[in-house]
Structure 1
Amino acid sequence: MKTLTIIKPDDWHLHLREGLVLKNIIHFTSEFFGRAVVMPNTKTPITSIERARYYKKSIVEALPESSKFEPLMTIYLTDDTDKEELINGFKNNIFFAAKLYPANATTNSSYGVKKIENLYKIFESMQDNGMPLLIHGEVTDSEVDVFDREEVFIDKELSQITKRFPKLKIVLEHITTSYAVDFVQENNIGATITPHHLHINRNAMFFGGLNSDFYCLPVAKRENNRLSLRRAATSGKKCFFLGTDSAPHLRKWKAFCGCAGIFNSPVAIESYLTVFEEEDALDNFEKFASLNGPNFYNISPNLEKLKLVSRPNKVKEFIDVVEDENIVGQIKPFHAGEILRWQVEGIVN
């Protein structure tokens, strides 16, 4: 039986939702991750200091009593974002970063930015103050094929942002293409990579009919892109780091309405580790999971360590959502019903 001990990881891209779902899923992240960058695309988006404080309070109240987990809050950029509010929130450690959603690019993004050039003054101020910009990198032009949206966004928008603001700390989130892998490496920016984009290609959405369990945004791409992502994640290169993009939806919505998002928090660490073992890169797992993110953001790694053990790990078919001891819904996790080869044993000194 193999074991691996690493510095406690962080999740640099996470959806926690709100209310009952938040209360039922937070422990999957807080138990084994030190920090997580919390996405602001809640039903009422986090567009102000007041809303960020309220949302963080609800997260902290949902944590187990002894938890040391730290939620890192973000502000949702809109066409009307107030520059003073943004920078004041950052300077006062309310906002860790700002998130750019092109309008209607993904879940709860209808308030997103319609014309990115209109935010250039915001980006300039962020650059001057060292505030990170996190980007959902897809165009939403109906004439662009859904499988090409990331590449077109890089050419049309991101290339201009990086040229105009060379010192702006940028993270291109949940990258899905070899084109994005190359751009990140060539332009001194960071990128998060999800576990599901390392495991599945676009065929997964069509096995056994139209399968919404593997539908997310950005969508999984061709097999050559998946292999490129695996090489990037396992390379040890500092520009690539862990970001699950775990995005839960109640089964009644996911199965019948096809909501975009894959809930991987219950097995994210084990899922990533499976890939690193398959790629004969276990020595680089700590860099990807625990060191590259803090290094990019110029903060210290976590002090605690995490022990992982190589043994059969049967993933539940469904995660129950419970209210007053009654099951009121279910969420299907990534790898549901599968047996993974690794399991988190716990925190060690």
Structure 2
Amino acid sequence: VHRAKAQGVLAFKLYPAGATTNSSSGVTDIRKCFATLRAMEETGTILLVHGEVVDPAIDIFDRERVFIETILPVILDNFPGLRVVMEHITTKHAVNFVREAPDTIGATVTPQHMLLNRNALLVGGIKPHFYCLPILKREEHRRAIVEVVTTGDSHFFLGTDSAPHPRGAKESACGCAGIYSSPVAMPIYAQIFEEAGRLDQFEKFASINGAKFYGLPRNARTVTLVKEDWEVPATYRFGDDVVVPICAGATLPWKLVQ
């Protein structure tokens, strides 16, 4: 950890074993990581967390809440100075925890968890391109996330968790988790902030809060979004295959032009 920090590494990510795609070699017991976490606390290295338990007895829709109630306190009680980012939060429980936490705790939020609830995945047939981990949750959780994020609260910042997988790997009897959002993430975020009447807070979420948490200078470059209807392509090339983006075929009111 000390050598990595000296070379400019800012953060390590915790993947519980089996929590998401390609995580089978992840952490099985957080206590086995205590020496690493201690060194991270000492050096100011940030811990990025996929915050779900992997106990098969725990319902998939409860795994983030149970992680916050059981695993996260073990980390923070033993390493109170550790800087932690709860990646891609999905529940009101995570919102409440992070909002009330000190400035050493932050969270990222994806476009899908601000835009969609679990009905999008499950109602009217399974929609494999809406399947991600952590899984989409109830509408009450989506609303809680939108409400806090669009205030510009400095604990919360942009993190797409964009995960392109070939169409065949998604449209499968046992499809993999992951939503491809990169081409449409900024337009989706802009739409959500505008619908909340808080477009003036978008820059904090997208460009300021994350840089501040990481102790990095704000990006001097800009992107340009215009209020213009456009249709999201059905697919994008993905090597010799194609990948289906979130909102494929839908019309979005904001367009990224530069």
Same fold (TM over 0.5): yes
Q: How far, CA to CA, are the matches of 2:201 and 2:230 in structure 1?
A: 22
> 2:157 aligned with 1:241, yes or no?
yes
Are residues 1:98 and 2:15 paired?
Answer: no
How far apart, in 1, do the equivalents of 2:225 and 2:128 lie?
Answer: 31
- In the other structure, the counterpart of 2:147 is 231
Residues 101-136 of structure 1: per-residue CA shift (max 9 Å, x gap): 111110111110100012112111101001000000
Structure 2 counterpart of 1:287, from 181, 199, 204 = 204
CA displacement 1:305-345 (0-9 Å, x = unmatched): 222110112100111224xxxxx211000110011001122
SS for the counterpart of 2:224 is strand
Query: Which of 118, 121, 130 pairs up with 1:214?
Result: 130
Q: Equivalent residue of 2:33, what SS?
A: helix
**Shift in Å, 1:164:** 2.0
Q: In structure 1, what is the Cα distance between the partners aligned to 2:94 and 2:179?
A: 21
Task: Give the aligned length.
Answer: 255
TM-score, normalising length from structure 2?
A: 0.96
RMSD: 1.0
Check the 8 A contact 1:308/1:343 in 2, yes or no.
yes
Aligned to 2:245: 333
State the one-letter code of the partner of 1:184: V
2: CA distance, partners of 1:91 / 1:231: 39
Greater per-residue strand proportion: 1
Match of 1:115 in 2: 29
Counterpart in 2 of 1:300? Answer: 217
Q: Provide the identity percentage.
A: 47
1:278 maps onto 2:195 in alignment: yes
Counterpart residue type for residue 245 of structure 1: D
- Provide structure 1 residue ranges, at least 5 long, that are not aligned to the other structure: 1-85, 323-327
Deviation at 1:296, TM superposition (A): 0.5
Tell me which of the two structures has the higher relative contact order, counting C-alpha pairs closer than 8 angstroms and 6 or more residues apart.
1
Q: Which residue of 2 aligns with 1:174?
A: 88
- Unpaired segments ≥5 residues, structure 2: none
CA distance in 1: counterparts of 2:184 and 2:5, whole angstroms: 32
Which whole-Å CA distance do the structure 1 matches of 2:163 and 2:210 have between them? 20
Amino acid at match of 1:284: Q
State which of 137, 141, 144 in structure 1 corresponds to 2:55: 141
- 1:341 counterpart letter in structure 2: P
Instruction: Give the residue type in structure 2 aligned to 1:344.
Output: L
Conserved 8 A contact 1:216-1:260? yes
Partners of 1:345 and 1:309 in 2: CA distance = 7
Residue pairs, 1:1-349, within 5 angstroms: 86-93=1-8, 95-188=9-102, 189-256=105-172, 257-322=174-239, 328-346=240-258
CA distance in 1, matches of 2:79, 2:99: 17
Contact preservation (8 Å) 1:105, 1:140: yes
Question: Secondary structure of 1:305's partner?
Answer: coil
Q: CA deviation at 1:170?
A: 0.3
1:138-190 deviation line (CA, Å, top 9, x unaligned): 00001100000000001111122122212111000000000000111222200
Aligned partners of 1:126 and 1:132 also within 8 Å: yes
Cα displacement (A) at 1:249 = 0.5
